Chains A and B, each alone.
Chain A
């Protein structure tokens, strides 16, 4: 068989799958490239939006931004704090921004990340309100949108989401593992009915429950706190994970349990030393799903939490990063890219567990 003959199958499979892959991944490519584009490039419609451009399509000059003296400043002699050719950083993405110039006792900050390319009003001359004192060549690609996130509660939301996810994973595993074992292995009256009832609760979605639930968390005095999320998220993680784990427990051969019991182990010892180690991959899968499902949750987070500081990441990004009708696409895409990272990392590390969980969760 020739080389072509051997690889033909591989090549055609790839060729046919490319459109599916492109459809699935394009929004991510788009978010990533947007998050690294300077605004000047982002809103330059004449440029090919699929890649970065360095120069303005009309003037063929590098993208630049004029430094304008605010109208409220008095006319005064200028003192430059940086030299021509120096790098500048946009002031709102820094905790303690460094001024680029002083006019009398007022300070001027950089409007954009880049390089001071031109000085219009030299050191010591008088700068008047709304004068252009210099030009900054815009840095592109740039990490300015990512740095800007530090000035928003983004990392606080990330903390809330991660903490909630972790707490939900612990709670879910503690409740779902014993329940799944009992339902899969132990004989008692109502076993089957309880199993089906738990499956049914998995099918009752948050969108049916969120209105009474909002009153319920209010009555428990946990509304607007992370506890409202930790208490409510297991309503979907416990049923799903119990169902998932039942499948794993059923796949453990009965004989190894019986042998342990015959060897004189108590049931609890047998569980701890024999069964749990065997179903550990299943427990890991359940934990991964509990984390991913709580990280993805939106309705409860939107309904129960009203203060900016306690929002979860998906709610924070969608509610707080948009001002009225104005979308700041750069920072918004940067927050989307960074916000996806925790689940992407978990997913990347546990690809096979995740996909087996998807199928068993739905099928078994």
Chain B
């Protein structure tokens, strides 16, 4: 039997294996090669460029967020120093090597803060610390320090080509204790702030939607599992968002989210919850835009979660639940001690599928926000499209797509582990 089956078996799977080999494995390998090359739209010959698409640092920006401008033994001395800030002045004084020191004059003390190449830069930088930074007194170790801090606009101390000159320069330039951060500048996607934001958004989008899908899908499945007239029709209706192409149904959501004529804002204004001038701009404000994306994805995905969990619930024999009821278990106990453990395996599978769908989702984001406003809601797939197809940087686009792969691989391994145990 075994001998006769093998040739037939190979013959029957061959078309599928050939097709998938040509149309999935080949593009996938091509994607890896493109991500290591200078592939661009219209450029026929691609050459190997190593990791340049992933990470290529061309310069380091040194940014300073806070300076300890003075240290005192006593708290009241520090506070007196802080109080004298209004009358403080700044001068630039020549220093050795043709450099200039920016000096802060506060309460009779002269504090050299920075040493820069010319007097204009030195006095400007120190003046910024004096007038634009927030000053406060903080205890640091045994001393009381007067600290000048900023949240959003750190002072740029310079751009450097390599790490060593940068370190030396910081040592020579900054004359007080200071917190500095180093920002890489370059042409790789890792140096692209939009890419970093896309990674963050992808996770936020995925976890936000999955949590909500469970919170809505589980109760929905429990209700659909009850026996009542019209159950089949209701189940059919709940699944509709999953059936309609999202690119089409998202047009309806666009209209619902419209800031002038949309129904949500109409309801908010007419119920006097929000005044007409302050209605949310669902697609123009970055937080509302992310909220809108999550809402649409949850709307589309919760039926899937509910139906899969429902399948798990239907598989639980009625007698088990009935016996628990007779034994005096209330509805919550029955849910947490009997139903939940029994649907857990199926729930995990649906969750993994759902996570993969959300993590690699393109359609919802592309139609609702197109990654906007100003790339604030880009996720990996949309940013790959933006850079790879719209801007023509095929290599970078491929690199961004491939960033999804390791995470996908982890999910898939988890799923395989699971299947091995179950099947």
Binding site for B on A (CB under 8 A): 9-10, 13-14, 16-17, 20-21, 23-25, 27-28, 30-31, 34, 42-43, 45, 49-50, 174-176, 178-179, 181-183, 186-189, 191, 194, 196-198, 200-201, 203-216, 231-232, 234-235, 238-239, 242, 267, 292, 295-296, 298-299, 302-303, 313-315, 317-318, 321, 327, 329, 332-333, 335-336, 339-340, 343-344, 347-348, 351-352, 354-355, 358-359, 362-363
Q: Decide if A216 touches B350 in the complex (CB within 8 Å).
A: no
Q: Decide if A9 touches B243 in the complex (CB within 8 Å).
A: no
**Please, how many angstroms separate the alpha-carbon atoms of A348 and B28 in the complex?**
37
Q: A17-B234, A20-B220, A188-B10 are in contact. Are A204 and B261 (CB under 8 A)?
A: no
B349 contacts which chain A residues (CB < 8 A)?
362-363
Nearest Cβ in chain B — how far from A150, in angstroms?
19
**C-beta contact mask, B250-276 vs A, less than 8 Å → 1, else 0?**
111111101001010010000000000
**Please, how many angstroms separate the alpha-carbon atoms of A311 and B419 in the complex?**
39
Q: Decide if B255 touches A208 in the complex (CB within 8 Å).
A: no
- Listed by A's residue number, 19 A-B pairs whose Cβ atoms lie within 8 Å are A13-B231, A182-B12, A203-B356, A206-B362, A207-B380, A209-B24, A238-B16, A296-B247, A314-B245, A314-B247, A317-B248, A317-B251, A329-B258, A335-B251, A339-B248, A348-B236, A358-B239, A362-B353, A363-B311
**Does residue B20 face the partner (Cβ distance < 8 Å to A)?**
yes
Nearest Cβ in chain B — how far from A4, in angstroms?
15
A296 contacts which chain B residues (CB < 8 A)?
245-247
Q: Decide if A27 touches B256 in the complex (CB within 8 Å).
A: yes
Contact of B13 among A20, A183, A214 (CB under 8 A): A183
A299 contacts which chain B residues (CB < 8 A)?
362-363, 381, 385
Contact of A201 among B24, B251, B299 (CB under 8 A): B24
Q: Decide if A176 touches B27 in the complex (CB within 8 Å).
A: no
Interface centre among A206, A211, A215 (most CB of B within 10 A): A211
**Does residue B308 face the partner (Cβ distance < 8 Å to A)?**
yes
Q: A14-B228, A336-B251 are in contact. Are A207 and B401 (CB under 8 A)?
A: yes
Q: A178-B13, A333-B252, A355-B307 are in contact. Are A209 and B408 (CB under 8 A)?
A: no
Nearest Cβ in chain B — how far from A208, in angstroms?
5
Q: Decide if A213 touches B27 in the complex (CB within 8 Å).
A: yes
Q: Decide if B245 touches A358 in the complex (CB within 8 Å).
A: no
How many residues of chain B get a CB closer than 8 Å to chain A's CBs? 101
B353 contacts which chain A residues (CB < 8 A)?
362
**Please, how many angstroms separate the alpha-carbon atoms of A225 and B354 in the complex?**
32
CB-contacts of B321-365 with A (<8 A): 346, 349-350, 353, 356-357, 360-363
Binding site for A on B (CB under 8 A): 1-2, 5-6, 8-13, 15-17, 19-20, 23-24, 26-28, 30-31, 34, 39, 216, 219-220, 223-224, 226-232, 234-256, 258, 261, 263, 266, 299, 302-304, 306-308, 311, 346, 349-350, 353, 356-357, 360-363, 366-367, 380-381, 384-385, 388-389, 394, 397-398, 401-402, 404-405, 408, 411-412, 415-416
B350 contacts which chain A residues (CB < 8 A)?
362-363
A235 contacts which chain B residues (CB < 8 A)?
20, 23-24
Nearest Cβ in chain B — how far from A323, in angstroms?
14
Q: A30-B256, A329-B255, A340-B245 are in contact. Are A187 and B5 (CB under 8 A)?
A: yes
**Please, how many angstroms separate the alpha-carbon atoms of A16 and B226 in the complex?**
11
A321 contacts which chain B residues (CB < 8 A)?
251
Interface centre among B31, B229, B244 (most CB of A within 10 A): B244
Would you call the interface of chain B mostly helix, strand, loop, or mixed? helix
Q: Decide if A211 touches B232 in the complex (CB within 8 Å).
A: no
Q: Decide if A204 touches B252 in the complex (CB within 8 Å).
A: no
B385 contacts which chain A residues (CB < 8 A)?
210, 299, 302-303
Q: Decide if B356 touches A207 in the complex (CB within 8 Å).
A: no
Q: A175-B19, A198-B16, A213-B27 are in contact. Are A9 and B246 (CB under 8 A)?
A: no
A201 contacts which chain B residues (CB < 8 A)?
20, 24
Nearest Cβ in chain A — how far from B195, in angstroms?
15
Q: Decide if A336 touches B5 in the complex (CB within 8 Å).
A: no
Q: Decide if B30 touches A204 in the complex (CB within 8 Å).
A: no
Q: Decide if A20 touches B238 in the complex (CB within 8 Å).
A: yes
Q: Decide if B6 touches A186 in the complex (CB within 8 Å).
A: yes
Q: Decide if B416 touches A196 in the complex (CB within 8 Å).
A: yes
Q: Decide if B30 touches A216 in the complex (CB within 8 Å).
A: yes
**Please, how many angstroms separate the alpha-carbon atoms of A335 and B308 in the complex?**
31
A343 contacts which chain B residues (CB < 8 A)?
243-245
Q: Decide if B255 touches A333 in the complex (CB within 8 Å).
A: yes
Q: Decide if A189 touches B6 in the complex (CB within 8 Å).
A: yes
Q: Decide if A208 touches B245 in the complex (CB within 8 Å).
A: no
Nearest Cβ in chain B — how far from A2, in angstroms?
17
B404 contacts which chain A residues (CB < 8 A)?
207-208
B234 contacts which chain A residues (CB < 8 A)?
14, 17, 21
Considering only CB atoms, which chain A residue lies closest to B304 in the complex?
Answer: A358
**Please, how many angstroms separate the alpha-carbon atoms of A224 and B416 in the complex?**
37
Contact of A234 among B23, B228, B311 (CB under 8 A): B23
**Please, how many angstroms separate the alpha-carbon atoms of A182 and B356 in the complex?**
28
Nearest Cβ in chain A — how far from B335, in angstroms?
15
Other than the given A203-B408, A207-B380, A313-B245, 14 more pairs (CB < 8 A) read A17-B223, A31-B251, A42-B261, A179-B13, A198-B20, A208-B402, A209-B31, A212-B30, A213-B27, A231-B23, A336-B252, A355-B307, A362-B304, A363-B350
Q: Decide if A267 touches B389 in the complex (CB within 8 Å).
A: no
A212 contacts which chain B residues (CB < 8 A)?
27-28, 30-31, 34, 398
**Please, how many angstroms separate the alpha-carbon atoms of A174 and B2 in the complex?**
25
Q: Decide if A211 touches B398 in the complex (CB within 8 Å).
A: yes
Contact of B240 among A28, A178, A213, A333 (CB under 8 A): A28
**Please, how many angstroms separate the alpha-carbon atoms of A348 and B252 in the complex?**
21
Q: A24-B299, A209-B28 are in contact. Are A178 and B15 (CB under 8 A)?
A: yes
Nearest Cβ in chain B — how far from A186, in angstroms?
4
B307 contacts which chain A residues (CB < 8 A)?
355, 358-359
A200 contacts which chain B residues (CB < 8 A)?
412
Interface centre among A315, A336, A352 (most CB of B within 10 A): A336
Contact of A332 among B228, B255, B360, B416 (CB under 8 A): B255
Nearest Cβ in chain A — how far from B419, in angstroms?
8
Contact of B238 among A24, A31, A174 (CB under 8 A): A24
Contact of B227 among A9, A16, A351, A359 (CB under 8 A): A9
Q: Sorted from nearest, which 3 A-B pairs have the closest CB atoms?
A: A314-B247, A186-B9, A182-B12
Q: Decide if B256 touches A13 in the complex (CB within 8 Å).
A: no
Q: Decide if B261 touches A317 in the complex (CB within 8 Å).
A: no
Considering only CB atoms, which chain A residue lies closest to B232 in the complex?
Answer: A351
**Please, how many angstroms separate the alpha-carbon atoms of A31 and B240 in the complex?**
14
Nearest Cβ in chain A — how far from B280, in angstroms?
16
Q: Decide if B255 touches A298 in the complex (CB within 8 Å).
A: no
A197 contacts which chain B residues (CB < 8 A)?
20
Contact of A313 among B248, B356, B397 (CB under 8 A): B248
Considering only CB atoms, which chain B residue lies closest to A23 in the complex?
Answer: B299
A354 contacts which chain B residues (CB < 8 A)?
239, 243
